[in-house]
Structures are given as C-alpha cells and as structure tokens.
Amino acid sequence: MRALTWLWRGLLFFVLFAFALNNQHLVELKWMFGWYWQGPMVFVVLGVFALGCATGVLSMVPSWWRHRRDARNRQLLMPEPVPGAAKSGGKAGTGDAGDAAGPPSLPSELPFPPDMPAPRKPAK
C-alpha cells in the first residue's frame, strides 16, 4: 500500500511538472489604469491556485472557531463521574446498598440533548 501511495505521488508530481514545462510562454495580466504584468503562465496558475486555497481556508475559520467553542462548552457542561459507581461493579450478590439501587437514573436536566452522544473528555 505504501508503494502505491508513493507511485501516486510520483505520478502527480510528473504530471504537474509536465504541465509547468508545457506552459512556459509569457502571459500579460492587465490591471486598471493601464498597469500590466508579464510572467510565465505557470506562475499565474500557481498564484491563482494559492489565492483560492487561502480564500477557502479563511472562509472556514469562523466555522472552526464556532465548533471549537461549542466543543469547549460541552466539555465544561459534562457531569463528573460518581466516585462510588466504579467501585461497586465487581461485587455481585454481596447485598450491599449499591446493588439494591438498580441502574443509575438520568438527572432531571441534561447538559446535552438526549438524542446526541455525550461528549468525552480527552485522554491525558
């Protein structure tokens, strides 16, 4: 699989390199007020591609910030685990109060909608 990945990368490099070699003629970009710029076609295409990538990334930044803020708020609202719940798991049939209580019930107000999975804290 690794060899196929490198083969694909090499093929892509050679296709782009051939594109650059085939488009070496000069292009004239005409701006306003009679200004113009002459340069190789490959630089113009590369510049337009870079501007498109930068515009796409910058247009996604507000959405990324909103998702990060929502994730941080969910992390802060997540309830802490009950300390005694983990200890009573291996004592079946001993008759202590933890077994008689039954399954844990949900609190009256949930910090997240019940139809969505609970957020997890990152492992440290």
pLDDT tens per residue, range 5-28: 999 999 999 998 888 888 888 989
pLDDT at 46: 86
Higher pLDDT: 37 or 91? It is: 37
Tell me the per-residue pLDDT of 76-116, one tens digit each, with 9 for 90 and over.
Answer: 777 777 776 655 555 554 545 545 555 666 566 656 566 66
In the predicted structure, residue 43 carries a pLDDT above the cut 80: yes
- Mean pLDDT on 20-47: 88
pLDDT at 6: 92
pLDDT at 2: 86
SS3 annotation, 35-89: CEEEEEHHHHHHHHHHHHHHHHHHHHHHHHHHHHHHHHHHHHHCCCCCCCCCHHH
Q: Which residues of 30-39 are buried (b: 16+ CB within 10 A; e: fewer)?
A: eeeeeeeeee
Residue 104, token pair as written in the block:
């844990």
In the predicted structure, residue 41 carries a pLDDT above the cut 70: yes
In the predicted structure, residue 62 carries a pLDDT above the cut 90: yes
